[in-house]
Amino acid sequence: MSNNEEIVQLKFITTSDIHGAIFQYDFIEDEVTSSSLAQIFTYITEQRQNPNQEIILLDNGDILQGQPLVFYSNLFYEKNRDFQHICAQVMNYMQYDAAAIGNHDIEAGHDVYDGLKDDFDFPWLAANAICKKTDEPYFEPYTIINRKGVKIAILGLITPAIPMWLPESKWEGIEFEDMIITARKWVEHIKEVEKPDLLVGLFHAGIDYTYNRQTADTYKNENASILVAQNVPGFDIIFAGHDHQENNLQIENVEGEKVIILNPKSLANFVSLVSVEMKYNQENGRYEKYDIIGLNLQMNFCETNSEFKKKFEKQVNTVKKYVSENIGFFNRSISSRESLFADTGFVDLIHRIQLEHTKADISFAAPLSFDSVIKKGEVYVRDMFKLYKFDNLLYIVRLTGEEIKKYLEFSYGLWFNRMRSINDTLLNFKHNFKGELVMAEKYYNFSSAAGINYSVYLKKPYGQKIEIHSMANGQAFDEKKIYNVVLNSYRGNGGGGHLIEGSKIPHAELHKRILWKSEKDVRTIIMDWIKKTNTVTPSALGQWRAVPKSWWHRGRLISIKVLFNNKKS
């Protein structure tokens, strides 16, 4: 007779894309939130008290970016390794069993993630992040967890598109391999060497493999979670992430086996739960999967865990003080919402600072917040996270006038619909797989220009939408001339496709176009500029317009109704 239990009940609890939502407080908006890790920990604590189930707690990446809390921790941890990073403190306290690293975790830079890799009490996984020196995974490829005799293998993968988004300094010495190829290699190894009873995929990659104009055959597809599930037999469960979507799917792989795929959205709104009943087979001496159920559970019903809150109260108060520092005064309010439709003071403030800081000829910038307002009056550090959401650097790149025009054609081709009547939407919309009307492109790819005067023709097709009239100073714009253009590192590395697909510059050639890179991130550059200027009057530069104006006005109103549920803008 075996000493193994006849039935073992496993429960996987997975978080993903927390983006600094650790406490039930938004340091940017200065308000209580409805979701946080502090609430999830309440649920986890309750579940661990049930003696009839074994809890496996996982995270699927992108926790090191989003809220000032983690920005502050990254900043001081990078300078002083003796400083305790808030994510290591919290995640160790919560007793995570494993995590996958995300692209925004890589964005924090080597000094941060190399240190956290050691400071975490659990393995940080990414089988397809390969160390160039050793040709072995830079992070742990997988981990084995044992629960009452059940052997569980967790294989981690990261979206391989990171070199398209981040400066090489952030991922120097690492190569990101294709997810499908990597999964095949490691599943074979895990089956042969480890012989697990259950195989789980922890993938910081999304569900929609057609995103960003890709296909199922695209090498190094950004969002290949379903493609791995379909084409690499062996997985019982796959947890997806990265795309901030909430999904609960069951697909059939090439061998006809069912695979559950879950994605718990972002910002601790949901956890993905999978309950697995494992039965012991006396004949072969193995545990076998008998019943498996997956669901995404919303967490806003949970109260913040009081012990959790008390333990980290000092850290919260320190960051509250940091974001409450006054840095200047705005003479008028600005909103990112209107930047989805027109030339506005929100984006043009970024343009103005980029041009003044770098003395470039032309600036490219985008609205990085979907619906944020910085009100007239005193401006604080917290407001800068509304104005500039991501931790990008600045680049100056050399582009011809023709490449600049093609860049804008690409941007507005993604951004504005080709209107065939005055009753069409202004923005490009599509139906997602649920049948919902959504923006066809992410708003942070709505890149406009400053330093030139141009028009966007709403009735015309892609390739004919943009007419550049002149430089902003009245001088002629020459498509054959080379200009110095300032843009962020995400765009300068090929993010969004503007330079590669739009301007037709091969990705391998982009680094040759870079004249200069900033040492500081863009948000810090903006903060320094506002501190120096003190009183700022943010206003639209008036350097681009959409025509005909009547069609723009009508299409804007229709688009607002779709996006903002009939709220006024």
pLDDT (tens digit, 9 = 90+) per residue, 111-124? 999 999 999 999 99
Better-scored residue on pLDDT, 441 or 398: 398
Same domain, 263 and 333: no
Are 386 and 28 in contact by the 8 Å Cβ rule? The answer is yes
- pTM of the predicted protein model: 0.92
pLDDT (mean) for 101-110: 97
Number of domains in the chain: 2
Does a structural domain hold residue 220? Answer: yes
Q: Is the peptide bond before 367 cis (omega within 30 degrees of 0)?
A: no
Residues 6+ apart with CB under 8 A from 548: 458, 459
Confidence tier at 153 by pLDDT (50, 70, 90): very high
User: Residue 1 has what pLDDT?
Assistant: 35
Report pLDDT for 3.
62
Whether residue 373 sits in one domain with residue 439: yes
pLDDT exceeds cutoff 60 at 340: yes
Residues 114 and 232 in one domain: yes
For residue 48, pLDDT beyond 60: yes
Average pLDDT over residues 248-265: 96
The amino acid at residue 465 is: K
Within 10 angstroms of residue 46's Cβ, the number of other Cβ atoms is 11
Return the structure tokens found at 241: 């992430």
pLDDT confidence band for 436 (50 / 70 / 90): confident
How far apart are the C-alpha atoms of 364 and 355, rounded to whole Å? 10
Beta carbons of 156 and 140 less than 8 angstroms apart: yes
Whether residues 302 and 335 share a domain: the answer is: no
- CB contact at 8 A, 140 and 132: no
Residues 427 and 503 in one domain: yes
Residue 433's pLDDT is: 63
Going by their DSSP bridges, the two strands 544-547 and 452-457 should be labelled as parallel
Local confidence band at 212 (pLDDT 50, 70, 90 cut-offs): confident
Residue 435, domain CATH: 3.90.780.10
pLDDT at 81 over 80: no
Q: Over the range 479-512, which residues count as b (16 or more CB within 10 Å of their CB) and which as e?
A: eeeebbbbbbbbbbbbbbbbbbbbbebeeeebee
Give yes or no for residue 203 having a pLDDT over 70: yes
Contacts with 382 (C-beta within 8 Å, 6 or more apart), sequence order = 27, 28, 29, 30, 68, 323, 324
C-alpha span between 564 and 370 (Å, rounded): 11
Q: How many CB atoms lie within 10 A of CB 426?
A: 24
Same domain membership, residue 77 and residue 38: yes
What is the per-residue pLDDT for 13? 98
**Alpha-carbon gap, residue 178 to 175, rounded angstroms:** 10
- Residue whose C-alpha is closest to residue 530's, from 411, 424, 383: 383
What percent of the chain is predicted at pLDDT more than 90? Answer: 93
Instruction: Kindly state the average pLDDT of the residues 523-538.
Output: 97
Query: Looking at the structure, do residues 239 and 345 belong to the same domain, yes or no?
Result: no
In terms of domains, do 161 and 265 share one? yes
Average confidence (pLDDT) over 399-414: 98
Q: How confident is the model at residue 441 (pLDDT cuts 50, 70, 90)?
A: confident
Question: Looking at the domain assignment, is residue 2 inside a domain?
Answer: no
Of 301, 319, 337, the last residue of a domain is 319
Residue 256 region by backbone torsions, left for phi larger than 0, else alpha for psi between -120 and 50, else beta: left
In the predicted model, is pLDDT for residue 566 greater than 50?
no
Confidence of residue 568 (pLDDT cuts 50, 70, 90): very low
Same domain, 305 and 349: no
Q: What is the pLDDT of residue 35?
A: 95
pLDDT at 569 exceeding the cut of 60: no
The domain boundary residue, chosen from 319, 352, 384: 319
For residue range 546-562, list pLDDT tens digits in order.
999 999 999 999 999 99
Say whether pLDDT at 18 is over 90. Answer: yes
pLDDT (mean) for 150-155 = 98
Tell me the mean pLDDT in the region 290-314. Answer: 94
pLDDT 10s digits, 269-296: 999 999 999 999 999 999 999 999 999 9
Which is nearest to 37 in space by CA: 11, 81, 69, 74?
69
Domain presence at residue 131: yes
Examine the domain organization and report whether 221 and 289 are in the same domain: yes
User: Which of 319, 346, 381 represents a domain boundary (last residue)?
Assistant: 319
Spatial distance between the Cα atoms of 466 and 460, rounded to a whole number of angstroms: 9
CA 519 to chain centre: 22
- The structure tokens listed for 428 are 């490009």
Q: Would you give the end-to-end CA distance of the chain in angstroms?
A: 72
Q: Which tokens go with 389?
A: 């959401």
For residue 510, the model assigns a pLDDT of: 97
Which CATH number covers residue 103? 3.60.21.10
pLDDT tens per residue, range 29-47: 999 999 999 999 999 999 9
Q: Are residues 344 and 314 in the same domain?
A: no
| 1 in any annotated domain | no
Assess whether 292 and 398 both reside in one domain. Answer: no
Buried b vs exposed e over 186-222: b needs ≥16 C-beta within 10 Å? Answer: bbeebeeeeebbbbbbbbbbbbbbeebebeeebebbb
Q: CB atoms < 10 A from the CB of 353, how many?
A: 25
Q: H helices within 177-271, ranges in order? A: 179-189, 225-231
Residues 178 and 159: beta-carbon distance below 8 Å: no
Residue 305 lies in a domain: yes
Q: Mean pLDDT across the stretch 24-30?
A: 96
- Asked whether residue 569 is domain-assigned, the answer is no
**Measured between alpha carbons, how far is 342 from 358 in angstroms, rounded to an integer?**
25
3-state class percentages of the chain: helix first, strand second, coil last, to nearest 5: 35, 30, 40
What pLDDT, on a 0 to 100 scale, did the predictor assign at position 353?
98
Residue 361 has pLDDT above 90, yes or no: yes
The predicted structure's pLDDT at residue 560: 94
* Mean residue pLDDT across the chain: 95
Structure tokens at 65: 């970016």
Which domain does 468 fall in, by range?
A: 326-564
